[in-house]
Amino acid sequence: MTKDLTYWIEKGKEMVANREARIAKAKKWKFDTIATHGLYDANEALSLNNGSIMEPVYLSPAQAYENSAEMEAGLSYQMPNWCYSRIANPTTYFLEETTALLETYGSEIRATCLATASGMSAIRTATDPFLVYDKKFPNPNIVTSAKVYGGTFQQFWVRRHQEQGLEVRWVKEPENMEEWENLIDENTRFVYGEFPSNPTVGIFDISEVAKLAHKFEIPLIVDATCASPALTRPLVLGADIVIQSASKIIGGSGTSIIGLLTAKLDITSKIGSEEMKHDFATWAKLWPFRDNGPTINPMASFMTLNDLRTLRMRAEKMSHNAMLVAQYLENHPKIERVHYPGLQSYAAYKMAKKYMQLADDGRNMFGYMFAVEIGEKSENSSKNSRKFYDALQMAWRATDLGRVKTVATLNAISTHQQQGEEGRALASIKPNTCRIACGIEHADDIIADMEQALKSI
Ligand SMILES: *Cc1c(COP(=O)(O)O)cnc(C)c1O
């Protein structure tokens, strides 16, 4: 048989059917099983990888083709192939496929994922396609929670608004549906929220905001980095696209910077082509991402995949620790306030209970991160927060979170420094706000470190 274009297109169909069968099998598994195996099985190992039980790392820039017809079929996207590592890579596929399964866990929803060089580039890649020029809607705006990560605030406010003139409408109290309702109009291109937000753990009603966005025929994009699919799966709750900075709990042992963009099939948008709306993550990978190039290194994909296997257990342990430490601090006289969705004092506690549950367990777990305002009640002193911070002995002073090691961050001088006083007020960051991201140590030792550091005040 001549290996012409038709031959390769037929072979491509077989590859797609084989992949579909593996997805169908994995869809029936529990969360930890999917996280551990993904789509890599013994058949794959024996036929492609000398039987290795771990996924191969392809540190190669490009794929070779048997003949010109295979190359033509591959490069015209008529058969699955990876072609060139800026566009795709077989190791990265394993990470993407596992992530797509976990983000839709517990539902029949199908999604695809695109791994990127960082969480910030995942946000950029997810939002760019909705902001293209469209003469039917010449004055675009976006509606976003003001309680977002500092980098996201900068990307929206400095890069998009100040440099490019995009109208950015901030929702100051994202748990309040009325604000979202008042800000969205026919020129809104997408709605954006963080669940829970970094660092003040603001949340919003994902299902209700998704319904509202869909009424206006626009997508809801959710950054769920601080929950992770082990606790909250926005796609299952109605969102169209979910972002993870896998630099955080997904890659918890701390080897890389990585972003993950996962989109359900057939997203809602009045902007863009049918192809884009049908399979957003794949479309983004094959078109704009390929041209813009914020590509993940295959080694980072492999290390992230390894960490992903233990995500649920770490989410459980870290949430358990965060709860104990938050409770301890809430009762401490030198602490003004603790923001943690797991505390009864948290304003949207009921909503947090509804949306944050450990997969395959059902128990409420509220994540690894909380914010505390240091100092005696209503003192709001940055001096005392620095004293406390500088006295920490085990917890690391760093701008990091989701790590297996406990990390503390003074946000006003670090993550949210660039956005200035006004921007920080929008995000409820005070001069004495300290973000604590609990690791997997024993909770007693984290508490002991906090206790001795508070004695310095
Ligand atoms: C860290 C973080 C980001 C940015 O991710 P990088 O991987 O550092 O680029 C985005 N959103 C949230 C909530 C984060 O915590």
pLDDT at 422: 80
pLDDT in tens, 130-187: 999 999 999 999 999 999 999 999 999 999 999 999 999 999 999 999 999 999 999 9
Q: Which atom of ligand 1 is nearest the CA belonging to 257?
A: 7
Q: Is the CB of 198 under 6 A from ligand 1?
A: yes
Q: In one letter, which amino acid is 94?
A: F
pLDDT band at 384 (very low <50, low <70, confident <90, very high): confident
Is the Cβ atom of 437 under 6 angstroms away from ligand 1? no
pLDDT at 140: 97
Ligand 1 atom at shortest distance from the alpha carbon of 402 = 15
Please tell me the distance between residue 120's alpha carbon and the centre of ligand 1 in angstroms: 6
- pLDDT tens column, 236-269: 999 999 999 999 999 999 999 999 999 999 999 9
Which residue ranges form the domains of the chain, and what is each CATH number?
88-308 (3.40.640.10), 311-454 (3.90.1150.10)
Whole-number mean pLDDT of the chain?
A: 95
Distance 415 CA to ligand 1 centre (A): 10
Nearest CA to ligand 1 atom 5: 119
pTM over 0.85: yes
State the distance from the centre of ligand 1 to the C-alpha of 210, rounded, in angstroms.
22
Pocket probe for ligand 1: among 247, 250, 296, the residue whose CB has the most ligand atoms within 8 Å is 247
The pLDDT of residue 178: 97
Mean pLDDT lowest for which of 61-65, 195-199, 381-385, 453-457? 381-385
Alpha carbon of 149 to ligand 1 centroid (Å): 7
Q: Counting atoms of ligand 1 from 1, which one is nearest the CA of 120?
A: 9
Q: Counting atoms of ligand 1 from 1, which one is nearest the CA of 194?
A: 13
Q: What tens digit of pLDDT does each residue of 426-442 get?
A: 777 888 999 999 999 99
pLDDT for 451 beyond 80: yes
142 lines ligand 1 (CB under 6 A): no
Ligand 1 pocket residue status of 364, Cβ below 6 Å: no
Instruction: From the CA of 225, give the closest atom in ligand 1.
Output: 13
What pLDDT, on a 0 to 100 scale, did the predictor assign at position 380? 57
pLDDT tier, 417 (very low <50, low <70, confident <90, very high otherwise): confident
Percent of the chain with pLDDT over 90: 91
* Mutation to probe ligand 1, out of 116, 118, 120, 297 (largest number of atoms < 8 A from CB): 120
Residue 454, pLDDT score: 96
Judged against a pLDDT cut of 90, whether residue 75 lies above it is answered with: yes
Mean pLDDT of 312-334: 97
Q: Whose CA is nearest to atom 1 of ligand 1?
A: 245
pLDDT at 379: 59
Q: What is the structure's pLDDT at 259?
A: 98
Assigned token pair, 243: 């972002």
| HEC secondary structure over the chain | CCCCHHHHHHHHHHHHHHHHHHHHHHHCCCHHHHHHHCCCCHHHHHHHCCCCCCCCCCCCCECCCCCHHHHHHHHCCCCCCCCECCCCCHHHHHHHHHHHHHHCCCCCCCEEEEEECCHHHHHHHHHHHHHCCCCCCCCCEEEEECCCCHHHHHHHHHHHHHCCCCEEEEECCCCCHHHHHHHCCCCEEEEEEECCCCCCCCCCCHHHHHHHHHHCCCCEEEECCCCCCCCCCHHHHCCCEEEEECCCCCCCCCCCCCEEEEEECCCCCCCCCHHHHHCHHHHHHHHHHHHHCCCCCHHHHHHHHHHHCCHHHHHHHHHHHHHHHHHHHHCCCCEEEEECCCCCCCCCHHHHHHHCECCCCCCECCCCEEEEEECCCCCCCHHHHHHHHHHCCCCEECCCCCCCCCEEEEHHHCCCCCCHHHHHHHCCCCCCEEEEECCCCCHHHHHHHHHHHHCCC
- Residue 377 banded pLDDT, cuts 50, 70, 90: low
pLDDT score at 420: 80
